[in-house]
Every structure is written in structure tokens, then in C-alpha cells.
Amino acid sequence: MFLSWWQSLVNRGKLRLQSSAARRLRRRHSESRRNLFEPLEPRVLLAANPYINLSNGDSYIAHASSTTASYLQVPVRIDNLQDQVGDRGLSLANVALSYATSEGLSSGAAVPGSGSLTITAASESGTTVTITTGTASASTWVGELVAISGVSNAGYNGIWTITGYNAANKTFTYTDTSGLGTTTVAGATANVGTCVEYGTTAEVETGAACTFVTGESVNVSGENVAGYNGVFTILSVSGSTFSYTAASGLKATYAAIGSTAQASIFDLSVAPTVAWGPLLPSGWSTSTGVDPALQPSGAISLLAKNPGTAADITVTDPTNGGATPNGDVLAYVTLKVEKGIAPGAVTGSIQVDSANITQLVEDTTTKSTGNTAYPTLDPPLNASVNIVASTTTPVTEMSVGGISNASGGTTYSVPVTLTPSVVGGPGISSAYAIILFDPT
């Protein structure tokens, strides 16, 4: 408002200079005259900072057991929405959520023979195993995976990490348990790559220390042998590798440059479901999905748009709480927890993706500021998810993490909310809650 007032004052001053007396003065001193007022360019004030969050700082607890999976329902809210005077409010909300951890896959140098080598000798000294093949080894093999199979002494077989090489002797080494002794190698093979298989156990090498967790769902893509790609359950994680069960008979391979794998406590083979919340005005068009160019597996995009004939989302709507329960919820996103995750073993998170993907767009139809995108400068409050054991199996459970700036002798009111397992589904006839208020 201040800028508008100042611009109006400047323009009035300029008009006074254009009076008849000013025009005569201007003709007389056209070479030396200079305006007392310079016209101001239009200025746009950014809208106040709304932001998107998932749970108002609360954490979500998903219940799981070794044999069953459960579902987690997470509300996505738009908070602190403040329009400029005269604006119509939001006409579009495009929110991208991610619920998986991403790791880059290692893309080493290809080994001759498509990574499959014939073993001519195998021996051990201490815990160092030396494998001889008919192919000269190379320095690029060090750190790669090798699957040894067919050696008569089964202790040599399995998946290992190459620790050394001798090109002249056509050998490479890896570390095993001691005491293996001598063996025969007729028909034995060594398969070298960043993705190898022994039996039906596939092991994949990442570009750095792997942050995945045993029991998580993992989506592998970019391997040059198609059988390694797909959604699996992680069997183990060690250093910069993780393993899972795949179809047998896969050749060793290398990932394409830039390939990634995503892992999550949520089942990546099951797409999230979305139920739109009470914040969404009637008549808006909606869509969900994933743009592969912007988001990997383990992410979902929620797009809600005013087609031009409906009401916008404004400060008169119940944002930031308001009198309507859950009135600031744009949508409820329900995800399936991966089956078989040990309770207490895994914690994960659901994040609002970067501002390049998530945006709130202001209506430009009946306003004059020209501001077309709300900033999302406030840090999103994302949901923390923990797998716990329970004698009951609720679909969702909410745990309040704490009260900030609490002081002694003050009474605080903590809401206990109950969300139906299916939005718009049957009602609830009874409820039972255990409330822990002892911080110890």
C-alpha cells in the first residue's frame, strides 16, 4: 500500500509540471530543465509466506508386524495463507511429496566377456583368496563385486568385493574366512560387475556408503540386465552394497551412468491413494501422479486447480486450523507400509519436495499486483514415520512430539484427534487411547 501511495504522489507531481505555466517554462528552458519528480516503475510486493506441511510438527507411527502390512494416512496442509489486499487467492496448488531415499548406482568399467570369466585356479593364504582366470585383470576391477560359483570347496563361492589384482598373472583377490584349503575349479566361473547374482541373491553396488535399511522396499532401475530392475525387498545392506532376491540366471552387469535406486519403508510397488480434503473448494479439477522427469519412484504429485469457474482458496477459508476441524487439509495421502519390517528397526520420513516442483499459484484474474507464485520460504514441517509394535492395528496413529517454550505452572490443551481409516467411510462407534504425559 505504501508503494501505491508513493507512486500516486509522484504521478500527481508530474502532472502539475505539465500545467500551462510549466509548459511555457519548459519551452523556455528545454535544454536545461529536469523533472522535479522521476516516474516510479510499478513494484510488486511478494505475498505473505504460506507454506505446505504434513502434520503441524507431529510424528506419525505406522504399525507393522513380520507378516502383515499396514497403511499410513497423512494429511497435507496449507498453512498461514495471507493474500494481498484485492487478490482473489490461490487458484492452483501443485504439491510434490517424496517418501523414499535415493542412492546413485555405481557404473564401473565393463569386464571382458560380459563380466563372466572362467576360473582356472583358486587358492587362499590367510584370509586372502586368489582367483586365476584366462583374462588379464585391471585396476578398475578393485572395489567391484564378483560372484564366484562352481568351485568344489563351497567356501570360495558367493558374492565378494575385489580387493586387489595382478594383470600379468591374470589374477584378482578378495577376503574370505581363513582355512578354506585347496580346491578344484572345473567349470567354476567368476562374474564381475557392479551388479552380480549368486543363486537368486542379487547384490548391487552404490556410488557411496549405502543408507538403505534391511527390510525396506527398493526400486532398482538403470541396470543393463533387465532382471535386476524392479521393486524388491532388501535382504541386507553392507558398506556400499545392498542385496535382494531376483530371478536366477542373471549375468553380471553395470548400471547406466546416472542410474539410481530408491528405498522406502513404504511399499514402492503400491501407488499411494489420495482423498482430497475440506480446504479444496467445490468445482476444482484434481489429478495425481508422478512426472518421471522431476520425481523418482517414491514420490507423488498432487495437482489441484481452479478451472476459472469456482472459488479460490483465500484467507476466508479455514487455513491454519480455523473453526473447522482439519479445515486446512488440502488432501489425505495414504501409503502402504512394507510388509516384514521389524518393529522399531526402521524410521523414515515424508518430505515436501523442493520449490522447483511444489508451488502455490495466485489467481491473476481480478488483481493488479502481477504476483503469480506464492513463496514457500518457511521450512516445511515434514512427517517423521516410525515402525512400532502394538497389540492393536490402527490405520494411523499420531504422537505429539512436545510443547515448545513450555513453562511451569501453565496449563496446556492438547487435542486428541481421531481420523477414520477411510475418508468418508463408516463412522466410529468407540475409541480407546493411551496418553503418555511423563517425559521420562
Sign of CA dihedral 131, 133, 135, 136: positive
Strand order in the sheet with 101-104: 101-104, 260-264, 217-220, 230-238, 241-245, 201-205, 195-198
User: Which phi and psi angles does 139 have, rounded to 5°?
Assistant: -65, -25
Rounded-to-integer distance, Cα 217 and Cα 340, Å: 10
Taking a C-beta distance cutoff of 8 angstroms, is the pair 265, 341 a contact?
Answer: yes
Sign of CA dihedral 48, 53, 55, 57: negative
Taking a C-beta distance cutoff of 8 angstroms, is the pair 395, 428 a contact?
Answer: no
pLDDT score, position 45 = 37
List C-alpha distances in Å: 295 to 77, 106, 222, 362. Answer: 21, 20, 15, 24
pLDDT score, position 263 = 93
pLDDT score, position 365 = 65
Cβ burial, residue 360 (10 Å; 0-12/13-18/19+): buried
Sketch out the chain's domains with CATH numbers: 1-43 (no CATH), 51-100+269-399 (2.60.40.680), 112-264 (2.40.30)
Task: Count CA within 13 A, CB hemisphere, residue 83.
Answer: 22
In sequence order, what are the residues at sequence separation of 6 or more whose Cβ sits closer than 8 angstroms to the Cβ of residue 184?
A: 151, 152
Rounded-to-integer distance, Cα 399 and Cα 434, Å: 11
**Predicted confidence pLDDT, tens digits, the chain (440 residues):** 444 444 554 455 444 544 554 454 444 544 444 443 344 343 333 334 556 777 655 677 777 666 667 788 888 888 766 655 455 678 888 888 888 988 989 876 666 555 689 999 999 999 999 999 989 988 889 999 999 999 999 999 999 999 999 999 999 999 999 999 889 999 999 999 999 999 999 999 998 899 999 989 999 988 888 999 999 999 999 999 999 999 999 999 888 888 889 999 899 998 888 999 888 989 999 999 876 665 667 889 899 999 988 888 876 666 555 556 677 888 988 888 888 777 776 778 888 876 567 777 777 665 444 445 555 545 667 778 887 765 444 445 555 555 556 666 777 666 666 655 555 444 555 666 666 555 44
Task: Please state, as a whole number, how many other Cβ atoms lie within 10 Å of the Cβ of residue 313.
Answer: 27
Rounded-to-integer distance, Cα 133 and Cα 162, Å: 14
Rounded-to-integer distance, Cα 78 and Cα 53, Å: 7
Cell 505475498 sits on residue? 47
